[in-house]
């Protein structure tokens, strides 16, 4: 009996040492990632899965969704997604409505069932009428496909569009995260600040989304500036504008916060035709 207790204690001690070693390795790996200019590049992969543009299957609209938020979530330009689905301005959608990403129909359809908190997909195979089947093939064939980590498509901005004009910084504070094209890193920039400090519209436009329905962004605002550009402002504590409201550059639209993240900061993105671009190409130097 005494030998059994000693052996169990040794096994437990070895297990604890293994757990500590694994934890230390993870922490050291996380602390080794820095930006090229000394600014810390924030890996937001733990907060939200990074997806390239989804070009197959469909998404079923849920309450609170808008066409703009769906397009933003799956890497689409809202006008292209509307055209793909025959949705005319003002781009009204309703719960239960399928939003198709694929350009045609085939033998199987990938239904994107994920909401803001899930990245799973369900594959439904269509069987021709009259095809033979067995008890095994009559079972539910729904399966969860593993997510594939690939880099998002990053649009190169034409030189004429990179000229500063009409864009202002969305917040005052220290730049702590820079844009990176790698799919596991930032799709925008991160600005540190104080809880409750104002967040500003970076350019004139209309608020097309205001809510917390996109996982990893917390309380989020998306502003449509024109048919080419939208900007996004994440992790706010409180939103002070509503969907459909017109805003001007420099107007307060939210209060900085830490919703959906581990510290007080603003996550800011600019997207050109649905694809992320480096905001520092547009913002004035400071």
* Whole-number pLDDT of residue 39: 38
Following DSSP, what letter does each residue of 126-158 receive, concatenated? PPPTT----TTTTS----BPPP---PPP-PPPP
Here the CATH number for the domain that contains residue 211 is 2.70.70.10
Q: What are phi and psi of 89, to 5 degrees?
A: -55, 145
pLDDT, greater one: 232 or 129: 232
**Pair (107, 172) in one structural domain:** no
> Considering 99, 125, 151, which residue would you say is the last residue of a domain?
125
**Pair (54, 120) in one structural domain:** yes
Cα–Cα distance between 221 and 211 in angstroms, integer?
7
**Pair (225, 120) in one structural domain:** no
* Whole-number pLDDT of residue 162: 53
Classify residue 50 as exposed, middle or buried by CB count within 10 Å of its CB (0-12, 13-18, 19+). Answer: buried
| C-alpha separations of 29 from 22, 35, 49, 69, 180 in Å | 11, 14, 19, 33, 18
* Whole-number pLDDT of residue 254: 98
**Pair (269, 177) in one structural domain:** yes
pLDDT, greater one: 262 or 20: 262
The answer to whether the beta carbons of residues 175 and 140 sit under 8 Å apart is: no
Q: Is residue 130 part of a domain?
A: no
Q: Is residue 153 part of a domain?
A: no
**Pair (211, 275) in one structural domain:** yes
**Pair (201, 272) in one structural domain:** yes
Confidence of residue 167 (pLDDT cuts 50, 70, 90): very high
**Pair (96, 166) in one structural domain:** no
Q: Residue 235: helix, strand or coil by DSSP? A: strand
Q: What is the pLDDT of residues 42-52, one digit of tens each?
A: 333 334 444 56
* Whole-number pLDDT of residue 277: 93
Which range has the worst mean pLDDT, 3-7, 19-23, 33-37, 54-58? Answer: 33-37
256: cis peptide before it, omega within 30°?
Answer: no
* Domain span at 221: 159-281
pLDDT, greater one: 181 or 69: 69
**Pair (168, 88) in one structural domain:** no
Quick one: DSSP state of residue 279? G
**Pair (168, 268) in one structural domain:** yes
**Pair (120, 165) in one structural domain:** no
Q: Is residue 137 part of a domain?
A: no
pLDDT, greater one: 79 or 182: 79
Beta strands in the chain (DSSP E): 58-60, 98-100, 108-112, 122-125, 174-177, 189-192, 198-200, 205-211, 219-224, 229-239, 246-247, 252-256, 265-272, 275-277
The answer to whether the beta carbons of residues 236 and 209 sit under 8 Å apart is: no
Q: Is residue 145 part of a domain?
A: no
Q: Is residue 29 part of a domain?
A: no
* Whole-number pLDDT of residue 154: 53
* Whole-number pLDDT of residue 286: 82
Q: How many residues does the chain have?
A: 286
**Pair (163, 270) in one structural domain:** yes
Q: Is residue 1 part of a domain?
A: no
**Pair (202, 113) in one structural domain:** no
Classify residue 176 as exposed, middle or buried by CB count within 10 Å of its CB (0-12, 13-18, 19+). Answer: middle
Cα–Cα distance between 238 and 241 in angstroms, integer?
9
Here the CATH number for the domain that contains residue 74 is 3.10.350.10
Quote the number of domains for the chain.
2
* Whole-number pLDDT of residue 224: 95
* Whole-number pLDDT of residue 135: 43
* Whole-number pLDDT of residue 232: 98
Q: Is residue 198 part of a domain?
A: yes
Q: Is residue 31 part of a domain?
A: no
Q: What is the pLDDT of residues 173-218, one digit of tens each?
A: 999 999 987 655 678 999 999 999 999 999 999 999 999 999 899 9
pTM value? 0.63
pLDDT, greater one: 3 or 35: 3
């Amino acid at each position: 009996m005494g030998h059994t207790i000693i052996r169990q204690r040794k096994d437990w001690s070895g297990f604890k040492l293994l757990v500590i070693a694994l934890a230390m390795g993870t922490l050291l790996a996380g602390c080794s990632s820095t930006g090229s200019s000394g600014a810390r590049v924030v890996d937001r992969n733990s907060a939200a899965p990074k997806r390239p543009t989804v070009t197959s299957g469909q998404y079923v609209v849920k309450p609170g969704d808008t066409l703009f938020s769906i397009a933003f979530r799956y890497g689409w330009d809202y006008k292209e997604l509307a055209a793909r689905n025959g949705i005319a301005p003002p781009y009204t959608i309703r719960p239960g409505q399928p939003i198709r990403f694929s350009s045609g129909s085939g033998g199987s359809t990938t239904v994107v069932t994920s909401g803001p908190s899930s990245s799973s997909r369900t594959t439904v195979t269509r069987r021709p009428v009259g095809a033979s089947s067995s008890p095994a093939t009559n079972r539910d064939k729904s399966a969860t496909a593993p997510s594939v980590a690939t880099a998002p498509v990053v649009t190169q901005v034409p030189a004429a569009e990179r000229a500063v004009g009409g864009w202002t910084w969305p917040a005052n504070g220290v730049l702590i995260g820079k844009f990176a094209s790698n799919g596991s890193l930032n799709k925008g920039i991160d600005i540190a600040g104080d809880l409750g400090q104002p967040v500003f519209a970076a350019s004139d436009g209309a608020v097309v989304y205001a809510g917390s329905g996109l996982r990893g962004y917390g309380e989020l605002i998306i502003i449509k500036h024109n048919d080419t550009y939208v900007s996004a402002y994440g992790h706010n504590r409180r939103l002070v504008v509503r969907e459909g409201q017109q805003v001007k550059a420099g107007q307060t639209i939210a209060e900085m916060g830490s919703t959906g993240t581990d510290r007080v900061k603003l996550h800011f993105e600019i997207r050109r035709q649905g694809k992320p671009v480096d905001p520092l190409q547009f913002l004035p130097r400071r």
